[in-house]
């Protein structure tokens, strides 16, 4: 079996009073055991406040465990000496691109991090170009980021992380502000990275259809993992997901409704094509 690139062991995290505007201390992660295999594409789904963003922030040592441990490529995230190595291994993309852009020109922004890592000039040029192409923003390389739309800015932010050539990229709701095409472009860029370059992807999302495209789906509620498996299996637990404030893709919702009405349809027909096929067998 592949080595886990990220491993959490009985991970616990409590925001103490005063931290991030908290009035009282609050336990956010309540014993999370998770192995993220190198090269995999894992989606993490959960309601607001389920702890999924807090979990993500442990994956490159932005937050350190209050209890338990996190290992990144075998390195203990609490080991301050390994901090740079950890950050180089796991890149992070946040929800709001405006907080992530630093330069006045797109390509300079993308070059910012690898330049700081001391990547030689020639290689830097190629990395920046490749990263911008990967997210479909190459033609905007000489534009000013503040004149771009939210979706375009987010893709620049992703390019900035890609340019660091991390082994793993953690994206915290990167498509929340994007239109359907923007989302599709970002998602296919993420998938390409995973498939072609073997970059491990951890995608924190609210979009059921995005989660459905991952190889593995982890569902969080109240600081714990409550479901973990291939999306086709996890989404069949319609009632459990709804009970923790989540929904299922509309395809599953329809098939589930039909089953409630006593019809014999499969619940695992997630894609448009599979769902149409299932209905076809019923109606033809």
Partner 1 sequence: MEPIIQTQKLSHIYSAGTPFERGALVEVDFTAYRGEYLGLIGRTGSGKSTLIQHLNGLLKPTGGKVLFEGKDIWANKETTRQTRFQVGLVFQYPEYQLFEETVYRDIAFGPKNMGLDGDEIDRRVRQAARFVGLGDDMLQQSPFALSGGQKRRVAIAGVIAMEPKVLILDEPTAGLDPVGVEQILGNIRDYQQAHNATIILVSHSMEEVARTVDRLVVVHDGHIPFQGTPREVFQHGGSLEDMGLGVPQMTRVFHRLRAMGVDIDPSVYTVSQAKEAVLNALAKKGAV
CB nearer to partner 1: pick between 91 and 151: 151
Are 109 and 102 contacting, i.e. CB atoms less than 8 angstroms apart? yes
| Six-digit token string for 219 | 């569902």
CB nearer to partner 1: pick between 74 and 245: 245
Nearest to 159 by CA among 226, 91, 244, 212: 91
Strand partners, 221: 224
> C-beta of 250: minimal distance to partner 1 in Å?
4
> C-beta of 133: minimal distance to partner 1 in Å?
19
Residues that bind partner 1 (CB under 8 A): 21-23, 46-50, 95-96, 147, 149-152, 173, 176-183, 206, 209, 245-247, 249-251, 253-254, 257-258, 261, 263, 272-273, 275-276, 279-280, 282-284
> C-beta of 208: minimal distance to partner 1 in Å?
9
> C-beta of 178: minimal distance to partner 1 in Å?
7
Are 168 and 90 contacting, i.e. CB atoms less than 8 angstroms apart? yes
CB nearer to partner 1: pick between 70 and 137: 137
Using CB atoms within 10 A of its CB, is residue 265 exposed (0-12), middle (13-18) or buried (19+)? middle
CB nearer to partner 1: pick between 86 and 190: 190
> C-beta of 88: minimal distance to partner 1 in Å?
28
Nearest to 59 by CA among 20, 32, 27, 19: 32
> C-beta of 261: minimal distance to partner 1 in Å?
7
CB nearer to partner 1: pick between 122 and 239: 239
CB nearer to partner 1: pick between 199 and 218: 218
Looking at the chain, how many residues does it have? 284
> C-beta of 22: minimal distance to partner 1 in Å?
7
In Å, the largest CA–CA distance within the chain is 65
- Rounded Cα–Cα distance for residues 187 and 151 (Å): 12
- Rounded Cα–Cα distance for residues 107 and 132 (Å): 8
| Six-digit token string for 167 | 């082994």
Helices 180-197 + 121-134 axis angle, to 10: 130
Are 229 and 237 contacting, i.e. CB atoms less than 8 angstroms apart? no
CB nearer to partner 1: pick between 130 and 274: 274
């Amino acid at each position: 079996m592949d080595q886990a690139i990220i491993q959490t062991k009985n991970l616990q995290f409590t925001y103490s009073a005063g931290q991030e505007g908290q009035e009282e201390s609050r336990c956010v992660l309540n014993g999370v055991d998770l192995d993220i295999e190198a090269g995999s594409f894992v989606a993490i789904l959960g309601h607001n406040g389920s702890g999924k963003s807090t979990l993500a922030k442990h994956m490159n040592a932005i937050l350190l465990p209050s209890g338990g441990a996190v290992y990144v490529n075998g390195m203990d995230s609490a080991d301050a000496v390994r901090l740079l190595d950890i950050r180089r291994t796991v890149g992070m993309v946040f929800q709001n691109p405006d907080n992530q852009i630093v330069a006045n020109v797109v390509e300079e922004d993308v070059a910012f991090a690898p330049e700081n890592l001391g990547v030689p000039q020639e290689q830097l040029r190629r990395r920046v170009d490749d990263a911008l192409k990967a997210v479909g923003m190459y033609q905007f390389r000489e534009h000013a980021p503040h004149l771009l739309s939210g979706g375009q800015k987010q893709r620049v932010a992703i390019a900035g992380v890609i340019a660091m050539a991390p082994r793993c990229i953690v994206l915290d709701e990167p498509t929340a502000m994007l239109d359907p095409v923007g989302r599709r472009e970002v998602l296919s860029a993420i998938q390409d990275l995973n498939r072609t370059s073997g970059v491990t992807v951890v995608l924190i999302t609210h979009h059921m259809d995005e989660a459905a495209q991952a190889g593995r789906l982890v569902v969080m509620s109240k600081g714990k993992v409550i479901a973990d498996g291939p999306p086709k299996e996890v989404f069949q637990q319609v009632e459990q997901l709804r009970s923790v404030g989540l929904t299922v893709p509309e395809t599953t919702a329809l098939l589930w409704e039909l089953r409630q009405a006593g019809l014999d349809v499969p619940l695992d027909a997630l894609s448009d094509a599979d769902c149409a096929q299932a209905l076809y067998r019923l109606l033809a």
